[in-house]
Structure 1
Amino acid sequence: MAFPRIVMESEEEDHFEDAFEEIPVPTSIDLPSSIEESTIGLYLFLSNKFSEALDSLHPLYNKSMYHALIYGIIVVFRAFLTLNRQDIQMANTTMNEVLKTCEKFRKKTSMISSLSRLIYKKGISIVKEEEFHAELCYAQSLSLKASLILLQEENMFSFLKSGINFGLSYQIYRDCQELFLHLPNYQSKTQKHLAGGIKFGIGIFNLITALVPPKVLSLLHFVGYPGNLELGLTSLYEGALSSSINNILCLLTLFLYYSYISVTLGTGKEKKHNLEALLLSYLRKFPNCVFLVFCYGRLNMLKGNFDYAELKLQQCIFLQNEWQQLHHFCYWELMWCYIFQQEWRSAYHYADLLCQHSKWSKASYTFNKAVILTMLPAEFVNSVDEDISSLFLKVDSLKIKILGHSLPVENFAALKSQRYSGTTSWHTAQPVLELMYIWSGFRIIRKRQDLLSLWLVLIEKEETVLPEEQNKDYQIDDKCLVYLLKGLCLKYLGKYWRAELYFNRVITNEKTIKFDTYLVPYAYYELGLLQYQQGNKNTAIRTLKHIKNFKDFSMESRLHFRVHLALQQMTKKK
């Protein structure tokens, strides 16, 4: 059978094609060989040899559970990367086959008897080590299939079907964790992979269930499984330190949490693991791995080392061309590096590249490009043949839907674009200040006092022209935006009492704000974090709980996630 070989995408579409050469396929493979050979395929992938990795794994992916699992991970990742319909369909077909392969090696039980119940009745000795591995591979594959369902289908039925699969996967991991404690010593080299697989599964599910508010968890069929954030992070860290085949997945999940989720949603008080030292140990083994180099660039960006971050992100772009969509992640980070430093021409360059080449969120990319152009001279805008008003007007038509709903960040961009498409209803820096806040920009630059001061100057310039506001409808809203952002900068500069003053100015204008109603609940959130930072825990909790009284404002779901995590952090027992 011929299968597609991955080739570089054309400018018109992000489509991959495959073709495998004739490779003699053995009829069977034992567990140690399965793990060893699958690890070689994984290492090829981590060396940016994506087609070679797939070629090495495919011949045995219907005969070896680990070949199937690693092959499935790569194919599903590719589908999420390209968002190409054919790649998504191929990933879906592949995962069906992967699940069948894993099923062949699982302990045969009745429909009403789980593995844990069977072992409880007959003893753990009835289970072969290979069958334990099969349970974990099946659980991981089920999670991949569930995530793919959400990508492929956009209806409530698919959401529920995906939730059921996630719930089943979680239950298998929990059973395996419990059974592993009573596992006999198989005296094999493969047992460490059981431990690593369990740490990955338990870690990632504890992370998910700790991050997601209870109402959403109930829809995902995680009822009765409260997550523990620190347990999740610790399990992943231990998994990343291990020599199991899942160690790289543990590392990348930790990176995703600390570098994105925590930055966007966290309080900054979460337990810290030495992610940088861990990442450097992996980079010594895979110095040119595009994923690891990207992670190191992002970590340096979060530390405020923007020049070095830019070098690492540029290195990522030149490391491989086979999957050009990986370049888009670099374009996004580079755009923000330059926004933080107010280097608008360079920021525009990468925003424009995203608009041209990436499918992920055309609405957001177009909005970002238009916002950046508002900070550039008219001569430059004309020289690149752009029209700011036209760009803002395009945003709404570029929105996408997931499960029948538009993305909150795209809804926000479309709403603001309606106003900014006019030329007289806003001040010069207003769009970029709002963009910085929505994408947690001020939090990212908090370690760079020089840049915070630079942005504070921009905010204070806006503050001085507000009394001259001609558009009376937006005057109070615009003042409150400036107050919120000035309070945020003052907080990160250590001027707490002044920061609190500005947050309270927003709150006292609750009844007079006409359009940007998100400002008041977000001001309560920032005030609550400030109070907690100063040691006023009970006051902070009361402040955050007040946010539940606000409904139907922009970025509401994001704030509810933030409040959920903040309260969880503030109320946990030491």
Structure 2
Amino acid sequence: METKDESLQQVNLDPPGENALSPKMDLESTLKECSSALELFLNNRFADSLALLKPRKSESMYHAMGYSSILVMQAGMTFDPKDMDAAMRSLGEALQTCQKCRKKTGIMETLTSLFYRQPVENLTEEEMHAELCYAEVLLQKASLTFLDESIISFIKGGMRIRNSYQIYKDCQALVNAKEDMEKQMRSHKHFTGGVNMGIGSFNLMLSLLPTRVIRMMEFLGFSGDREVGLSQLRDGAASGSLRSILSTLTLLMFHLYITVILGIGDGNLDEAEALLEPYAEKFPNGALMLFYTARIALLKGNFTYAQEKFLACIAAQEEWRQIHHLCYWELMWAYSFEQNWSEAYRYADLLSKESKWSQAVYVSQKAAILSMLPEEEVTKLGENVVDLYRQVDGLRLRIAGKSIPTEKFAAKKAQRYSSSNPVKLVVPALEMMYVWNGFNVVGKRPKLTESLLTTLENAEEQLREDPNPSEYHLDDQCVIQLLKGLCQRNLGRLVQAELCFNYVISSEKDIKHDNYLVPFTMFELGLLHKEKGDIETAITVMENAKTNYKDYSMESRLHFRIHAALNTMGSFSAKLPPSRTPA
């Protein structure tokens, strides 16, 4: 079997016109041409990649899957309803194309079960790949339901992907049963690599879910093991198959995003760097490679280098403006971490004007950043913070009837500006930084952490001297104490951090509006106890936060973080009953 490089020498990278189609391709030729389309994509030639795949997407399962995969990626980056609809239509067509290539069954077999899946015995090589492609397209279709973080969406998505999961398990059984698959199948590495990617993704995704959802998933036949998932994906990334890049991108997404937003920021940055290196060498100007290089630098605290690479990513291509928007988002945070609010505003402003992904979040973020600047500078920019906050609620999206948690949070914070006498938020940009787990990133730079602490202490002093405290006064004090505690903990001052956290928790009965503060603070206090080595107290406090608090802002996000934190504390957590009294 030729390598990708060898196949590129034989396959013309210029996509053919639709009238230039040769007779139906065999599986080997199909894999070669789809590898060529992948090379085009990684070289920023997105339209050419689609053009190469499009003519055969009604007859070739791999062309159909590749074509729909690109549209799904585009939809995930834009959140544009038109892109979402196009991706869903393409996925439906891809399922039909894959179905045509699957093993034919009788009508009685088809009606046997609501959760029908194909038998896997005695499949031809092409039929085996058809099973794999069918499962992969089903998984992608389900992924479009996972764009918000609510528990309900994960349950619905879980129901929809059961068939995909069972097919992947059947394909894995085939790999395990056929030890001489390499001799029997010329395309064995592509099949095995696809199984690695699918089984690995499922295990990793399921391992992230909170306990109550996992119990439901297990009842439906699912199981998830983080280490198994990582191992399978690593094998897939190293397989040299068509899907190696998908396994690599899944691992990068896990290490660089999922562990930060839905976890405790414990992604393996060294592994991410090693996984990315061969692709960065082969596609030095590839937008995805530049983007992930910059993201790794950001998470390591190398903000200047990250900014340079994000700008290089923007300059690398103009075809997909959505990638520019991803870079604007990251640049906004890179400058926010340095408290360079003028530059941070520049990218927040670009997002609010260009991106459709979440206008409520972008406008709220823009207003939050402007709130950190002197009023005269805001006036020079021609902006009005009050007007911006009053726009937020009307910009919210609903996906499958559900509000996006971060938009809901932003709208709730913006309510303070809706009255005729608006009450300013105290440190809104720093509070949003916490929502996205940015304090853990800044924590790698002690001087910048000290600078954040100074900003918080100044805000605290202003609150203390306020002659006319508002109804939000105590809530604002507690926001500051939570963020101060994070800075103190990151600087190794655990006693001071604990005092800050305990201030928030002791104020529980008097907090009027920010109902998220106490459970989130308890979680941070649990991490502090873990850092001190007191695992039993850490688990008790976190279980307390999980069990005794409901219906607060970003509840599901905290449950994901608690689940991730408890997993790092090993089997000991399973031996402790959940606490029923507040800490």
Fold in common (TM above 0.5): yes
Residues 456/84 of structure 1: CA separation in 2 closer, same or farther (3 Å cut): closer
The residue number in structure 2 matching 1:536 is 534
Q: In the TM superposition, what is the alpha-carbon distance from 1:465 to its structure 2 partner?
A: 2.6
Partner Cα separation in structure 2 for residue 277 and residue 83 of structure 1: 31
Letter in 1 for 2:557: R
Say yes or no: does 1:550 pair with 2:552: no
How many angstroms does 1:230 deviate by?
2.0
Deviation string for 1:250-277 (max 9, x for gaps)? 1111111111111122234567761102
TM-superposed deviation, 1:194? 1.3
- 1:147 CA drift (Å): 3.2
Q: Deviations over 1:90-111 (max 9, x none)?
A: 3233222211221222223432
Matching residue's letter, 1:228: D
Contact 2:18–2:55 (Cα < 8 Å) also in 1? no
Q: Give the corresponding residue for 1:56.
A: 52
Identify which of 88, 92, 95 aligns with 1:92. Answer: 88
Shift of 1:420: 4.5
Q: Secondary structure at the match of 2:309?
A: helix
2:165 to 165, 170, 185: 170
Question: Could you tell me which of 503, 509, 514 is aligned with 2:512?
Answer: 514
Worse overlay, 526-535 or 140-149:
140-149
Which of 218, 224, 227 aligns to 1:227? It is 224
- Are 2:307 and 1:310 equivalent residues in the alignment? yes
Deviations 1:9-41, CA, capped at 9 Å, x for gaps: xxxxxxxxxx98443223321111111111001
User: CA offsets per residue over residues 354-385 of structure 1, 9 Å max, x none?
Assistant: 01000011011001111111122333222222
Provide closer, same or farther for how the CA distance between residues 83 and 474 of structure 1 changes in structure 2, counting only shifts above 3 A: closer
CA distance in 1, matches of 2:540, 2:155: 34
Consecutive unaligned residues in structure 1, runs of 5 or more: 1-18
| Segment drifting more, 468-477 vs 411-420 | 468-477
Deviation at 1:190, TM superposition (A): 1.3
Q: Distance in 1 between matches of 2:394 and 2:64?
A: 40
Q: Using the TM superposition, give the Cα deviation of residue 149 of structure 1 relative to its aligned residue in structure 2, in angstroms.
A: 6.2
The structural deviation recorded for 1:58 is 1.5
Helix, strand or coil at the partner of 1:511: helix
2:492 paired residue number: 494
CA distance in 1, matches of 2:137, 2:568: 32
Whole-angstrom CA distance in 1 between matches of 2:543 and 2:182: 52
The reply to whether residue 332 of structure 1 matches residue 329 of structure 2 is yes
Counterpart mapping for 1:123-522 below 5 A: 126-148=122-144, 162-183=157-178, 184-187=180-183, 188-216=185-213, 223-269=220-266, 274-420=271-417, 429-469=426-466, 470-522=468-520
Aligned residues: 548
Paired amino acid for 1:226:
S
Cα gap change, 1:520 to 1:149, in 2 (>3 Å):
closer
Residue 323 of structure 1 and its aligned partner are, at CA, apart by 1.3
Q: Which amino acid aligns with 2:165?
A: Y
Is 1:107 the equivalent of 2:103? yes
Q: Does the 8 Å CA contact 2:269/2:296 hold for their aligned counterparts?
A: no
Give yes or no for contact 2:299–2:441 (8 Å, CA) kept in 1.
yes
Counterparts of 2:144 and 2:470, CA distance in 1: 48
1:242–1:373 distance in 2 versus 1, CA, 3 Å: same
Residue 67 (structure 1) aligned with residue 63 (structure 2): yes
Q: CA deviation at 1:570?
A: 2.0
Corresponding residue for residue 11 of structure 2: none
Partners of 2:516 and 2:155 lie apart in 1 by: 30
Q: Distance in 1 between the 2:409 and 2:239 partners?
A: 42
**Identity across aligned pairs (percent)?**
45
Go from structure 1 to structure 2 and tell me whether the alpha carbon gap of 1:380 and 1:116 turns closer, same or farther (over 3 Å shift).
closer
TM-score norm. by structure 2 comes to 0.88
Which deviates further from its counterpart, 435-444 or 353-362? 435-444
Shift of 1:220: 7.0
Query: Cα distance, 1:67 vs. partner?
Result: 1.6
Contact kept in structure 2, 1:167 and 1:221, CA below 8 Å: no
Which amino acid in the other structure matches residue 323 of structure 1? W
| 1:144-186 Cα shifts (integer Å, max 9, x gaps) | 223346789x9x9x98875443111011111211221011435
Q: CA deviation at 1:464?
A: 2.1
Distance verdict in 2 for CA 1:129–1:289, change over 3 Å: same
State the AA in 2 paired with 1:128. T
Partner of 1:570: 569
Worse-matched range after superposition: 29-38 or 353-362: 29-38
Aligned equivalents of 1:105, 1:235: Cα separation in 2: 26
Q: Are the aligned partners of 1:270 and 1:569 in contact in 2 as well (CA < 8 Å)? A: no
SS of equivalent to 1:359: coil
Residues 217 and 223, structure 1, Cα contact 8 Å, conserved in 2: no
- Specify the code of the residue in structure 2 equivalent to 1:557: S
- Contact 2:426–2:476 under 8 Å retained in 1: no
Residues 1:266 and 1:79: Cα distance change in structure 2 (over 3 Å): closer
Correspondence for 2:35: 39
Cα distance change on mapping 1:88 and 1:463 into 2, 3 Å: closer
| Contact map agreement 1:425 1:471 (CA 8 A) in 2 | no
C-alpha distance in 2, partners of 1:117/1:58? 27
Distance 1:225 1:161, change over 3 A: closer
Name the TM-score, length of structure 1 as normaliser.
0.89
* Secondary structure of the structure 2 residue equivalent to 1:372: helix
Q: 1:297 to 1:150 in 2, by over 3 A?
A: closer
Report the Cα distance in structure 1 between the residues aligned to 2:329 and 2:558, rounded to whole angstroms: 23
CA distance in 1, matches of 2:408, 2:535: 34
What whole-Å deviation, never above 9, does each CA across 1:296-354 have from its counterpart, x for those lacking one? 11110111111111111111111111111211001100111111111111111111100
From the superposition, tell whether residues 506 and 164 of structure 1 become closer, same or farther in structure 2 (CA, over 3 Å).
closer
